[in-house]
Amino acid sequence: MKASEVRELSDKERQEKIDDLQQEFFNLKFQLATGKIENPGRLRLMRRDIARIKTIQKELAAEGESKEESKA
């Protein structure tokens, strides 16, 4: 998922996406432990997608806080 796509999502949609990705990541780790994973490189992509979404959430939260401070 690209950063531009993540920025277009609402806060609720971003949180739902993180929850879905974390669940899928857990399932892939379980498959890795049992030796039934087809594409182990997918784990890396999932980790990066989760981090990308969390980073954008923090950026937007900090941006919102700075706007509130400038109003006061």
Report the CATH number at residue 18.
Answer: 1.10.287.310
Rounded (to 5) percent helix, strand, coil in the chain:
85, 0, 15
- Give pTM, 2 decimals: 0.85
CB 46 within 8 A of CB 19: no
23-64, pLDDT tens digit by residue? 999 999 999 999 999 999 999 999 999 999 999 999 999 988
Domain of residue 23 covers 3-71
Does the structure show a pLDDT above 90 at 72? no
Domain count, the chain: 1
pLDDT of residue 8: 92
pLDDT of residue 69: 77
pLDDT of residue 21: 96
Return the closest-CA partner of residue 14 out of 67, 59, 50, 42: 50
